[in-house]
């Protein structure tokens, strides 16, 4: 097996490259391997990052996989590859395009890094995590979607903006799918341990919840030509770190449910304990009726994407 930890990143666009940069600066792994269809762009970014790592005396080396077969023996592989939603493209169009890209990528990972833990970042996130799980044949603990940390960090940021204080002491909690049906949980959100309901009015909390749901769209509306990548990349790097360092920390992540919360054969965001074996434990928090209703709606919207894949015979012949 490889000496030191090795992280593969498929897709060296804004998100993938920023994940790589973040990990290289932390020196959390021995080697980072970038894989992208634009090989020269990946090579340029890899050189730039290796030099940045040298500047901060990090031992991490950033390399490029010219082919999937170069992505061998990785401990963790992050998948950000996929097409963005283009004008005139329906959600279902995007679903099929990215499902096919994901299928190809996952086959390569399963073949060349069969012991890896896969972190999915491609959208639609929950459905792509489902595809990755089915295509890899890996245990569900080893295929995890990144969304909850990002959504929670957005909510925390909005709480801080609303309050004007408490930075670094805010713990926001979000469950469910990554999208308009996400389930922000004000009851489980605190400022230095003080419940959110003690420092903000119901109206203010509602405003924060709505803004969190549309946090990604708000950034897209400003950027015009792209979407967020600093917060998504840092959220992904936090997951990679927790796995490489076996921290057993609890983070909200998208995982395949098998009876938890009363759901099966669907992927949704729930609190999980991250360690060397991936999502080692799913934490079941108590939801009230309103939260259960929101979570049900969230699971249903992911289920409808999975149904679309099945109707298109996506998983046939397996």
Residues 67, 140, single domain; the answer is yes
Residues 130 and 193 in one domain: no
Average pLDDT estimate for 259-274:
98
Of 223-227, 239-243, 298-302, the least confident? 223-227
| Amino acid 89: pLDDT | 73
User: Is the residue at 155 inside a domain?
Assistant: yes
Q: Which domain holds residue 111?
A: 6-145
Residue the block writes with tokens 């020196």: 27
C-beta neighbour count of 261 within 10 angstroms: 18
pLDDT at 317: 61
Chosen domain end from 127, 145, 163: 145
| Cis status of the peptide bond prior to 124, with omega within 30 of 0 | yes
Q: State which H helix or E strand residue 29 sits in.
A: none
Tell which residue, 272, 243, 309, has the closest CA to residue 102: 309
| pLDDT confidence of residue 224 | 86
Taking the C-alpha atoms of residue 12 and residue 37, their distance in angstroms, rounded to an integer, is: 9
> Six-digit token pair at 148?
């909850």
Domain shared by 131 and 154, yes or no: no
* Confidence at residue 1, expressed as pLDDT on a 0 to 100 scale: 37
Question: What does each C-alpha distance from 296 to 192, 264, 266 come to in angstroms?
Answer: 30, 12, 11
In a domain, 38, yes or no: yes
111 lies in the same domain as 215? no
pLDDT of residue 318: 54
My answer on whether 26 and 99 are in the same domain is yes
Tens of pLDDT, residue by residue over 109-121, are 999 999 999 999 9
Considering the domain architecture, whether residues 199 and 124 belong to the same structural domain is answered as no
pLDDT class of 150 with cuts at 50, 70, 90: very high
- Domain final residue pick, 130, 145, 160: 145
What is the pLDDT averaged over residues 245-257? Answer: 98
Domain assignment of residue 314, yes or no = no
Whether residue 267 is found in the same domain as residue 162: yes
Catalytic machinery residues: 178
- Residue identified by tokens 């799980």 is 133
Task: For 191-209, write each residue's pLDDT tens digit.
Answer: 999 999 999 999 999 999 9
Helical segments of the chain, H only: 14-26, 39-55, 91-112, 125-136, 148-163, 196-199, 202-213, 215-223, 230-244, 289-311
pTM for the predicted model, two decimal places: 0.96
Q: How far apart are CA 220 and CA 98, in angstroms?
A: 20
Answer whether residue 246 is part of any domain: yes
For the chain, how many structural domains are there in total? 2
Pair 279, 156 in one domain: yes
- Note whether residue 22 is domain-resident: yes
Residues paired with residue 134 on neighbouring β-strands, in sequence order: none
Model confidence pLDDT, tens digit, residues 73-84: 999 999 999 987
What confidence tier does 19 reach under pLDDT thresholds 50, 70, 90? very high
The answer on 287 and 173 residing in a single domain is: yes
Per the domain annotation, does 205 fall within a domain? yes
Domain match, 204 and 272 both: yes
The answer to whether 107 and 135 have CB atoms below 8 angstroms apart is yes
161-182: average pLDDT: 94
Q: What is the CATH number of the domain that holds 131?
A: 3.40.50.720
In this structure, is residue 75 part of a structural domain?
yes
pLDDT for 3 beyond 80: no
pLDDT, residue 92, reads: 79
Query: Is the domain of 217 the same as that of 263?
Result: yes
CATH code, 167: 3.90.110.10
* pLDDT, tens digit (0-9, with 9 covering 90-100), for 21-73: 999 999 989 999 999 999 999 999 999 999 999 999 999 999 999 999 999 99
* 2 pLDDT tier (thresholds 50, 70, 90): very low
């Amino acid at each position: 097996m490889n000496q030191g930890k090795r992280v593969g990143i498929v897709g060296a666009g804004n998100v993938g490259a920023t994940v790589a940069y973040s990990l290289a600066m932390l020196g959390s792994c021995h080697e980072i391997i970038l894989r992208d269809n634009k090989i020269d762009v990946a090579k340029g970014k890899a050189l730039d990052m290796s030099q940045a790592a040298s500047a901060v005396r990090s031992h991490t080396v950033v390399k490029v996989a010219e082919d999937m077969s170069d992505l061998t023996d990785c401990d963790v592989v992050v998948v950000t590859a996929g097409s963005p939603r283009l004008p005139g493209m329906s959600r279902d169009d995007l679903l099929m395009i990215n499902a096919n890209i994901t299928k190809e990528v996952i086959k390569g990972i399963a073949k060349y890094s069969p012991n890896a833990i896969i972190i999915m970042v491609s959208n639609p996130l929950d459905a792509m995590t489902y595809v990755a799980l089915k295509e890899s044949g890996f245990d569900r603990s080893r295929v995890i979607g990144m969304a909850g940390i990002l959504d929670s960090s957005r909510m925390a940021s909005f709480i801080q903006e609303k309050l004007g204080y408490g930075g670094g002491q805010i713990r926001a909690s979000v469950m469910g799918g990554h999208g308009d049906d996400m389930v922000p949980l004000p009851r489980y959100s605190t400022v230095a341990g003080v419940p959110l309901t003690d420092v903000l009015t119901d109206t203010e909390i509602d405003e924060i919840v709505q803004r969190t749901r549309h946090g990604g769209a708000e950034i897209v509306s400003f950027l015009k030509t792209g979407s967020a990548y600093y917060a998504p990349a840092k959220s992904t790097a936090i997951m990679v770190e927790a796995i490489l360092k076996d921290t057993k920390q609890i983070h909200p992540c998208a995982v395949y449910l098998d009876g938890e919360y009363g759901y099966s054969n669907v992927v949704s965001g729930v609190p999980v304990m991250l360690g060397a074996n991936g999502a080692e434990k799913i934490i079941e928090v108590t939801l009230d009726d309103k939260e259960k209703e929101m979570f049900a709606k969230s699971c249903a919207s992911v289920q409808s994407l999975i149904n679309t894949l099945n109707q298109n015979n996506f998983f046939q012949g397996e």
